[in-house]
A and B are shown apart, each in its own frame.
Chain A
Amino acid sequence: MKQLLTFIKKEFLHVFRDRKTLLMLFGLPIAQIVLFGFALSNEIKDSRIAVVDYSRDPVTTRIISKIAASDYFDIQRSLASADQLQAAFKKGNIKLAVIFPAGFGNDLTHTGKATMQVIADASDPNQATTVTNYMDQIINDYNTELAKNASQPMQILPELQMLYNPELRGAPNFVPGVMALVLMLVCTMMTSVAIVKEKELGTMEILLVSPFKPIYIIIAKLAPNLLISILNLVIILLLSYTFLDLPVKGSLALLIFCSILFILTSLSIGLLLSINAKTQQAAMMGSLMGMMLPTMLLTGFLFPIENMPWPLQAISNLVPSRWYFIIVKRVMLKGLGLTSIWKEILILIGMSLLLFAISLRKFKIRLQ
């Protein structure tokens, strides 16, 4: 036991001596939470649009002023001819263009209908859909305005309520996502170099000839990373509480328990990587390249998992951050209790036990 403590102390000294890495380990979560929490948003507003008005009559002027008045659009410019649209789209300056044909107002007053053209830059399909829909809403409003006197029969008035996140801020979705991402990647990366570094520097031999059990080596290697990750967790929670106005709605103790569980799972992944890798570079590339994008995409905070083809859905089940993300959303944002997340907790426990057992088995006590 005393051996173990001494060894853990040595590991702590190693980690805390390296100020630059340490700075980065704590700087990363802070920068990410602040940047992502404030900057990322799914709300689409002030989309820049171009207007081509061949008609220039009171009707088009009225519609254009309605468009200009809405929060959704920002009329970037009025073009004289639709031929200029291509160029504007290609520069990427505008997301949408509206064309009023000649005699628009005239058509409307005399024939009772007029058609305007709406062209969306669909290179981003979602944005195009949303923006086109906003435009339809505005035109719909205008039609209602027109029909005021003619009294519209049978109007359905949909009343929309945005639950949990009424302002559609990015933070409520991204904070749990970033928590999952940062904790997982920091843990795996830091741990992945831990053992392979000793191998590369040759100090592993000394450890192996000492009467020190492999499990102690592993525990000692994991201890500083565990501590750092828990500190990170506390920082993230404090930041999201103070700056982003995202308090933990459910039980804080439950959230911390689940987080530690998740940290242990991630540490086990790093351990496995470290035991398998031959060089630090390979371990790092494995954890950086192999883990980063899949974790980002398969956690489910950027893209809905149910949209993915089934093989990817199956793979996503193996990504621990996916389960942790669900836990954080439920406990932190919705305030739910243990009954709604016991399944996810069991999965995480199972994963960490399995990974740890494999690592222990694969840990070689011989160098060659």
Chain B
Amino acid sequence: MRTLRFLLEKEFRQILRNRQLLRTLLIAPLIQLILLPLAADYSVKNISLAVVDNDHSPFSQKLIAKITASGHFRLTGYTASYKEALQLVEQDKADIALQIPIHFERDLVRENTKQLYMAVNAIEGTKANLGSAYLSSIIRDYNSDIRLRWQSTPGVPTISTTTPTAANTSSTATTSSPSATTSTTSTTPSPSATTSTTSTTPSAGATTSTAPIPSAAAAPQVSTASSNWYNPYMNFKLYMVPAILVVLITAMTAMQSAFNIVQEKESGTIEQINVTPIKKHIFIIGKMIPFLVLGLILFTLGLLVGWIFYGIIPVGSLLVLYASLLVYLFAMLGLGLLLATYSGTQQQAMSLAFFFINIFNMMSGVFTAIDSMPGWAQTIVATFPPSHFIKIMRTVVLKGSGFGDIVYPLTAMAAIGLFLNTWAVLNYRKTT
């Protein structure tokens, strides 16, 4: 025990002495945590649209006005031919090309159906997905608008303007939920049981109503009342900040501990340790504890940054968060140690660390949903400790999950940690 105390004293002194390192370890991640969530904004609101209006009718103009009023689209091109619109897509000046064919209004009135053509740049899948979803739902709304107006005033083929109320509702509603419509059906959330759940949910979102086809009594209609729980304002930062914090902690603690051990190897000081009667597990514990403390400090500072800059207060208990963090650090420091045992120089340690960190960052669900990966990839991802910790962070911070809800990711992390640490200790030889 006394040996451990001396070792810890040495480690802390070495870390605290190195100002340049300390700056990179604490300040750099915090600055990144403040800035990067601003970059990680995927609330798609600036979809640029090129429109080809071959009809030039009141109908087509109203459709374009409705699309631009939604707030999701920016009209970046108004071309004479579809080919030119596609060129704009090619040059990344437009994400979607929308073509309103000739006789759009006439055929709608006379023949009751007409096509609209949309071409979406699908290289960025999420943007393509959301963009086309927004556009489709606007067109759907528009469709029911004109239908309603048509039916209420039969015999008048053109509609020159919308009633201002309808337009207003549409634009304000679409900012919160793109599927909200200028619905005429009742928006009451239905049964008593449901309403009670909604009211007990602290973070239940605004209830908006979608009535895909509010029509005359001719056909029965099912409408949906959708609500967004846990993040009613659809704030993407709430989702990203906890994950980015995990990414930063991963890079800081685990990888730094690997470098630290290898540095002793490279500079030869490890031999001095080896000839002393210090036991190997004491040495390892002495190397791990400083980085555990560092991780705890960084995590606390990170939560503060989230609170001060983004107003994020974890819904769940801090105890759950910190307990999970300890399990996570145990696993990741084990990985760091393992990497250290396999590398002889700092450069090797860095290459190994870089390999893992990069794959962790891309695959652990920080940026893309793990659920949409194929099964084999999900199995691989399940062995990555960050994927579990990111899940825990998000559910606890946003939804207030307790220990009971995170049993699986927590035990998975603990198991991986135990495995990595055992492997590392077995592979660590004092005599190298």
List A residues at the B interface (Cβ < 8 Å): 18, 20-21, 24-25, 27-28, 31-32, 35-36, 38-48, 52, 54, 59, 63, 81-83, 85-87, 89-92, 95, 99, 101-102, 108-109, 112-130, 132-133, 135-137, 139-140, 142-144, 146-147, 149-166, 168-170, 172-173, 181-182, 185, 189, 193, 197, 278-282, 284-286, 288-290, 292-294, 296-298, 301-304, 306-309, 312, 316, 326, 329-330, 333-334, 336, 340
| Closest B residue to A22 using CB positions | B351
Residues of A within 8 A of B229 (CB): 89, 119-122
User: In the complex, what's the smallest C-beta–C-beta distance from A189 to chain B, in angstroms?
Assistant: 6
Confirm or deny: B431 has a beta carbon within 8 angstroms of a beta carbon on chain A: no
The listed residue (B129, B187, B231, B247) touching A125 by CB distance below 8 A is B231
Confirm or deny: B185 has a beta carbon within 8 angstroms of a beta carbon on chain A: yes
Residues of A within 8 A of B238 (CB): 123
The answer on a CB contact under 8 Å between B225 and A116 is yes
Residues of B within 8 A of A290 (CB): 24, 28
Residues of B within 8 A of A156 (CB): 108, 113-116, 139, 142-143
The answer on a CB contact under 8 Å between B137 and A123 is no
Residues of B within 8 A of A24 (CB): 348, 351-352, 354-355
Q: How far is the CA of A290 from the CA of B270 in the complex (A)?
A: 29
Residues of B within 8 A of A296 (CB): 361
Residues of B within 8 A of A140 (CB): 140, 212-213
Q: How far is the CA of A229 from the CA of B352 in the complex (A)?
A: 17
Residues of A within 8 A of B395 (CB): 90-92, 123
Residues of B within 8 A of A146 (CB): 219-222
Residues of B within 8 A of A45 (CB): 372
Having A165-B125, A288-B354, one finds 7 other A-B pairs with CB under 8 Å, namely A21-B351, A25-B351, A92-B391, A125-B239, A128-B231, A146-B222, A160-B132
The listed residue (B179, B223, B357) touching A132 by CB distance below 8 A is B179
The answer on a CB contact under 8 Å between B197 and A158 is no
Residues of A within 8 A of B218 (CB): 147, 150
The answer on a CB contact under 8 Å between B348 and A155 is no
> Which parts of B185-218 form the interface with A (CB within 8 Å)?
185-191, 193-194, 196-197, 200-201, 205, 209-210, 212-213, 215, 217-218
The answer on a CB contact under 8 Å between B354 and A39 is no
Confirm or deny: B323 has a beta carbon within 8 angstroms of a beta carbon on chain A: no
Of the stretches B39-47, B326-334, B415-423, the one at the interface is B39-47
Residues of B within 8 A of A91 (CB): 395, 401, 405
Q: Mark B244-256, 1 if CB is under 8 A from A, else 0.
A: 1001100110011
The answer on a CB contact under 8 Å between A136 and B224 is yes
| Closest A residue to B205 using CB positions | A122
The answer on a CB contact under 8 Å between B113 and A155 is yes
Interface size (B, Cβ < 8 Å)?
147
The answer on a CB contact under 8 Å between B116 and A157 is yes
The listed residue (A136, A153, A163) touching B179 by CB distance below 8 A is A136
Q: How far is the CA of A175 from the CA of B118 in the complex (A)?
A: 26
Confirm or deny: B177 has a beta carbon within 8 angstroms of a beta carbon on chain A: yes
Residues of A within 8 A of B68 (CB): none
The listed residue (A31, A165, A303) touching B355 by CB distance below 8 A is A31
Given that A115-B209, A312-B38 are contacting pairs, would A289 and B29 also be in contact in the complex, using a CB cutoff of 8 Å? yes
Q: How far is the CA of A195 from the CA of B36 in the complex (A)?
A: 30
Q: How far is the CA of A90 from the CA of B196 in the complex (A)?
A: 18
List B residues at the A interface (Cβ < 8 Å): 20-21, 24-25, 28-29, 32, 35-36, 38-46, 86, 89-92, 108-109, 112-130, 132-133, 135-137, 139-140, 142-143, 146-147, 150-151, 177-179, 185-191, 193-194, 196-197, 200-201, 205, 209-210, 212-213, 215, 217-232, 234-236, 238-239, 244, 247-248, 251-252, 255-256, 259, 263, 342-348, 350-355, 357-359, 361-363, 367-369, 371-374, 377, 380-381, 391, 394-395, 398-402, 405
The answer on a CB contact under 8 Å between A162 and B120 is yes
The answer on a CB contact under 8 Å between A307 and B116 is no
Residues of A within 8 A of B252 (CB): 289
User: In the complex, what's the smallest C-beta–C-beta distance from B316 to chain A, in angstroms?
Assistant: 9
The answer on a CB contact under 8 Å between B122 and A166 is yes
| Closest A residue to B121 using CB positions | A163
Query: 20 A-B residue contacts at CB 8 Å?
Result: A20-B351, A31-B359, A46-B371, A92-B405, A112-B219, A115-B187, A115-B189, A120-B226, A122-B228, A152-B219, A156-B113, A159-B117, A163-B121, A168-B129, A185-B358, A284-B259, A289-B252, A293-B32, A293-B361, A294-B32
Residues of B within 8 A of A143 (CB): 212-213, 219, 221-222
| Closest B residue to A116 using CB positions | B224
Given that A90-B395, A146-B219, A289-B29 are contacting pairs, would A127 and B369 also be in contact in the complex, using a CB cutoff of 8 Å? yes
Q: How far is the CA of A117 from the CA of B187 in the complex (A)?
A: 10
Given that A108-B220, A122-B234, A136-B210 are contacting pairs, would A334 and B90 also be in contact in the complex, using a CB cutoff of 8 Å? yes
The answer on a CB contact under 8 Å between B118 and A161 is yes
Residues of A within 8 A of B232 (CB): 122
User: In the complex, what's the smallest C-beta–C-beta distance from B244 to chain A, in angstroms?
Assistant: 8
User: In the complex, what's the smallest C-beta–C-beta distance from B33 to chain A, in angstroms?
Assistant: 10
Given that A42-B129, A293-B247 are contacting pairs, would A160 and B394 also be in contact in the complex, using a CB cutoff of 8 Å? no
The answer on a CB contact under 8 Å between B239 and A158 is no
Residues of B within 8 A of A173 (CB): 123-125
Residues of A within 8 A of B125 (CB): 41-43, 165, 168-170, 173
Given that A24-B355, A124-B369 are contacting pairs, would A83 and B193 also be in contact in the complex, using a CB cutoff of 8 Å? yes
